Amino acid sequence: MDKDININFFKPVGDFMKKDVAMKKKIIIVWFVSVFGFLLLLKLVADPNDVVQLTLSTGEVITQVTGKSFLTETSFLGFPFHYWYSSQFLIALFIFLCYIYCKFIDKLESEHESK
């Protein structure tokens, strides 16, 4: 082989790879915001005045913020909303993003095969 093949995610070459990488970046951003944005939202809306004091066996007293908010108190499908979002919605979102990517890459491959 005389040709050197260089594939770089951060410097895509060619129309196909540029479109593919752009879609992957969009999907990663959606995933990042949905996971870490919700965690940040939970932290921001938590009531800082709602605390619990724990006494250790050594006699030391620890004060801890409970993190209660309307997101932790709201029930959705029988679960606390924050639990449902983290345990069920994010998995469904991941599967949906995989489906979107598969449809996108199928369309992109068919466009480039016809050229």
How much of the chain is in helix, strand and coil states, percent to nearest 5? 60, 10, 30
Tens-place pLDDT, residues 34-46:
999 998 998 888 8
Chain-wide mean pLDDT for the chain? 88
Helix (H) or strand (E) holding 45: helix 38-45
pLDDT in tens, 21-36: 999 999 999 999 999 9
Whole-number Å distance between alpha carbons of 32 and 51? 30
